[in-house]
Structure formats: C-alpha cells, structure tokens
Amino acid sequence: MDWISARWFRNCNLTARCWRSWPRAHEVYCDEQEALGWKWGEKKNEETKENPSLVEWEKLPEEEKEQNRGQARDIPAKLAFAGCYMVPAADGEPPFEFPPALLEELASREHTRWMRQKARDGWRYGEPRDGAKRLHPCMLPWTKGELAAYADFADRLEDKELSEEEKDKDRIAVREIPTILKVAGYTVVEASSEAGRARAAAQK
C-alpha cells in the first residue's frame, strides 16, 4: 500500500467519509443483481433468482456488512497493485475506467479476498449454499487448477472454475470502485501519468 492510500485511512476525517462508501458498495451489488433479474427472497435460490441479501444496508446481517466493509477497505491495496492513486476529485471530472486486462486481474484478486475472508469465518465449498453449515458454491478458484493464490485455505475449495456469471460480480465490484470513491470525494489517477503523479504529490 503506498503512502497516499495509507494516509486515506489514517486521516480521521477521511475515514468518516469512508463509512459512507460501505453502504454504497452494497447498493452497487443490489443494483447489478436486480438488473440481472434477481429479487429478494428468504433463501438464495438460483432457479427462481431469489436472494436474501437484496435488502437495505441497515437490514443486512452483520457478517454481510463486514464483507462490504472488507471490500471497501481493500480498495487502496487494489489501487496500489494497479499503479494508481486516489486523489480528491475535481468538479465534473469523468469517472476513471480500468483497462480490460487490469480489471480482470483486479477482479480475480477481489474474489481471492472474498474467499479468504469467508474461509476465516469458517466457510467451505458446498452446494447448495447453507448458512448454518457454512457451505458456499462460490468457494472456487478463478481458474481451474490454479490454486497457488489460495494455498492457505485450499482445503476449503473445490477445484472447479468459478462461473462467468459469478466472475462478473467481481468485475462489477472493481469497475465500480471509482463510483464508490466518489462518495468520499475521491477519484482514481494513474501513477504512470505525469498529471496523475502531480496530483498525488500535491497531497503530501
């Protein structure tokens, strides 16, 4: 994590703003799920496209809220990996877009982060999803046979590839990072650009 990313969380005023981005991450998820035809239901059902997580932030179970917080807290690490900074947004500035190859890599990293957090909470692969038994059908590698990134919890996975539909959820989560940061008054710039470095340096 670079010094600019780290400072974002050390500054108490910015941390307070960050709280507003956690519900926004959940809103993005709900919007995308509803666009795909999902609706609220008491239990997750792939056939009827019912999902108990399609509720307002305040109604989410604490464990699911923590998943959203984890996603938001990981934004600086993703930006550091991508060679990007987050800086105060200018008025009317167009949203940043990640290049396709980088977006794919960041989406894979987001899935790894999600599974690591699930594994810490006691979840493992299993179908159908069962909250009481802590079984989840998405505890799968991004690419079949490539388990190195999951070495510390590989025993909780099944060696089948994650479906494209589920991968799209992670791609959306990464694609929406600039939207989530905008809630806190920030945008993304590339460290490789002279203008991006100048804006980052101005925050020292």
| pLDDT class of 133 with cuts at 50, 70, 90 | very high
Asked if 82 and 182 count as a contact pair (C-beta separation under 8 A), the reply is no
**Residue 19 binned pLDDT confidence (cut-offs 50, 70, 90):** low
Mean pLDDT value of segment 5-24: 51
Q: What is the largest CA-CA distance in the chain?
A: 52
Kind of pairing, strands 84-88 and 186-190? antiparallel
Interhelix angle 100-120/164-175, rounded to 10 degrees, is 100
All structural domains of the chain, each given as residue ranges with its CATH number in brackets, are: 3-118+178-201 (1.10.490)
Question: How do residues 152-184 score in pLDDT, each as one tens digit?
Answer: 999 999 989 999 999 998 998 899 888 888 877
Q: Residue 121, Cβ neighbours under 10 Å: how many?
A: 11
Q: Does pLDDT of 4 surpass 90?
A: no
Lowest model confidence (mean pLDDT) among 15-19, 73-77, 148-152: 15-19
Q: What is the pLDDT of residue 18?
A: 53
